[in-house]
Structure formats: C-alpha cells, structure tokens
Structure 1
Amino acid sequence: MEIQTAPISPEAYLAQEAQADFKSEYHAGQTVAMAGAQEPHNRIVSNILGELYACLKGKKCQVYPSDLLIKLPQCDKYVYADITVVCDKVVLENLPQKGLDVLLNPHIVIEVLSESTAVYDRTDKLKCYLKLASLKQYVLVDSTQTEVVTYTRTDTNDWLMHTETDISAQVQIGDCLIALADIYRKNVE
C-alpha cells in the first residue's frame, strides 16, 4: 500500500476516487493506493463469492466484490473490502458526484489476507469494522495457510471470535455454511 503524504479532505478524496483509474482508500486525511492481489488471493475471493452467491440466491441478501467503497465514520475512513454482503435495503451515502457508490450498512465483510495487508486487516481495520452498527460478521481468510477467523456479533452486542484451520471443517458466514475445502479449492491441491 502506498500512502499519499499531503492531507486531503473526505470530499476531495471522494471526488478524486470517482474519477480515478485505480482504487485508493481514505484514512483520516491520507489516501492509500490499493495494490493488485496475487493469484491465490483472487482464487479464494472467487471461491467465496461463488459459494455465497449460490447460498444466497433468491434471498434478500446481495453479495458484492471489492469495488464497493465502505464508509467507516467512527475511524474517518473509506475502505474497500474483498467481499461485502448486505441484507435487506442497501443504504448508500448521498454524494454530489456521480460514478461512485459508498455503502453505509454492510452486514458481512470478508477480507482475504495477504502478506501486505494481514496486520492491518487483523488490527486497525478490524477495530473500525466492529464499530459499525450494521455489521453482523467480519471474516478474515488467510491466503497463505488454511485459516478462517470469524467475528460474529451476538444478541447481546458482544463479538464472538472463532478460528477454523481444519480443511475438512465448515464455517458459518451469515446464513451460509461453507466448507473450508471449497474456500481453498485449488489452493491446497
């Protein structure tokens, strides 16, 4: 990730992002250019998207790939997730410029970890996502080893963390039960 050093306002960032040829995130006055992902990362994202689409088809949830910007107001950030699920009505920020949608109410966010993003996704990004009132689950999928960590909001508004490393096991992502073998298909053969 490459960080721009000159401070920028959220409004200037959003105007810039609407016209940009490449994606960048906004982190409290700084823009961070997003690097492309390696093949194992992209394969895992594709596998999960396929499993979630099949599970949620015909239900009131929508699955989105990494091009939907998410606002994290408590942290003064705009970020992209690898996969986002929204159930019920999609709520977008009312922006004056066209060409950019900013999601305000993700229900499930999935990040596929790579060497360059793992620490950020497990720490700062995690803290910011868990502050979203709409978020029900945050899922971290490691692309270098078999490991899926889920943070699931309980009825008492606490977060329950579960780590799964057994390739023959399944993980609960929202209403979908997904086999780790399907998540890591072609990565572990």
Structure 2
Amino acid sequence: MQTTTLVTREEYFDLLAKSDVKLEYHSGEIIAMAGAQPAHNRICITLARALENCLESGSCMILNSDQLIKIEECQKYSFPDLVIVCKKPIYEKSPQGIDALENPEIIIEVLSDSTESYDRLEKFDCYKTIPSFREYVLVSSKKKKVEVIKKLSDAEWLSHTYTEKDEKILINECYILLADIYNKVELPGQEIIPAS
C-alpha cells in the first residue's frame, strides 16, 4: 500500500473519481488498495452468492467491494470486501457522484497476510464507531476458518470461530455451509476440491 501527502475529503473524492484503482481515505492520507489473490477473490464470490441466496426475500441486501463506506469518527472512507445493510441505506453523496454508505450493519473482510493485522485491530476499532455496525466477519484465505464477532453492547463483542470441524457458519440469520464458502478455493497445501 502506498501513501501520499495529506489531502482534504473533497480532494480525495476528486482523486477517487478519476482513479483506476480503489483508494481509501484515512484522516487525510490516501491509500491505494492492491489487487487481491485468487483465493481471496473466489471467497468473496462464493460468500456473496450464499448470502444473496439467503437474504434475497428479506429486507437485507449485500453489497460488494466496490461499495465505499464512511466511518465518520475515524475520518475514514473504506472499501470492505462485503457489506450487508438491512435498514434503508443512508448514503453520503459526493459532488463527484460517489455514494458512501453510512449505515453498514454487517461487514465482511477476507483476510490476507498484508491486511490481517490491520483488519483485526485498527479497522475493527474504527468500524465499532459506526452506530449501525453490529457484526464483523473475518474469513481466512489460508485455511477453512471464519470468525463471526457480534455486538452485545457498545463495550462488549462476542466472537465465535468456525473451523473445518464445523459444517455450517451463522452470519446474521443465514446458515452457510463452510464447504460452499471454500468451494474451488485453492488453500495452501491443499488441492482444489469442487463441492459435490
């Protein structure tokens, strides 16, 4: 990730509107997001499909990694891997026509070596400042492991880790087969095995 000199939010949106890559805004710094590995990309697709199948008839909707979200208290704009919103979406509209979601409820990040520490610590601390945010899902791209962290109160979050021993995971009200998430995903030291 590369940073530049400090810029205003207005300058950020000007740059973002012209950029060929995703740019995040962190308190005046612009961070260019690197392209993801095949396992990461595949997990995003399989998980989005499974969640869409579960959520399609209710009020919740899933948005992919092109959806910018606003984190007011941290002065950040971020592109999570997947976002779920169940109430009416609220957007901050920029003059450049880029809408930043202000009320994400569930945020999903697929972990990579370069982002895992940031996703677990600094990013999670910022996400916690969003009043609507109530569930954080961290998905490993190295092994079959999914952590679902649910908000109990402003000060308390409950974490549940699912591994190969678990057949299903629970995100929101959706039970999803672990095998479906990792279908055709090449994990280190394992062959790609399509789900039967």
Tell me if both proteins adopt one fold, taking TM over 0.5 as the criterion. yes
Identical counterparts, % of pairs: 42
Q: Deviations over 1:72-131 (max 9, x none)?
A: 111111000000111120100132222x11000001100000111111111111111122
Flag structure 2 segments of 5+ consecutive residues without an equivalent: 186-191
Aligned equivalent of 2:133? 135
Cα pair 1:168 1:181 within 8 Å, conserved? no
| Equivalences for residues 81-92 of structure 1 within 5 A | 81-92=80-91
Deviates most, 88-97 or 73-82: 88-97
Displacement after TM superposition at 1:167 (Å): 5.0
Aligned equivalent of 1:17? 16
Deviates most, 73-82 or 157-166: 157-166
| Equivalences for residues 46-125 of structure 1 within 5 A | 46-98=45-97, 100-125=98-123
- TM-score normalized by the length of structure 2: 0.90
Displacement after TM superposition at 1:166 (Å): 2.4
- TM superposition outliers: structure 1 runs of 4+ over 3 Å: none
Cα pair 1:83 1:111 within 8 Å, conserved? yes
Displacement after TM superposition at 1:11 (Å): 1.6
- TM-score normalized by the length of structure 1: 0.93
Match of 1:159 among 149, 157, 160: 157
How far apart are the structure 2 equivalents of 1:7 and 1:88? 34
Cα pair 1:150 1:161 within 8 Å, conserved? yes
> What amino acid does structure 2 have at the position aligned with 1:126?
F
Aligned equivalent of 1:45? 44
How far apart are the structure 2 equivalents of 1:12 and 1:52? 35
Aligned residues: 186
How far apart are the structure 2 equivalents of 1:33 and 1:142? 22
How far apart are the structure 2 equivalents of 1:97 and 1:115? 33
- Compute the RMSD of aligned alpha carbons: 1.3
Deviates most, 166-175 or 20-29: 166-175
Flag structure 1 segments of 5+ consecutive residues without an equivalent: none
Displacement after TM superposition at 1:169 (Å): 2.6
How far apart are the structure 2 equivalents of 1:2 and 1:149? 28
Cα pair 1:93 1:102 within 8 Å, conserved? yes
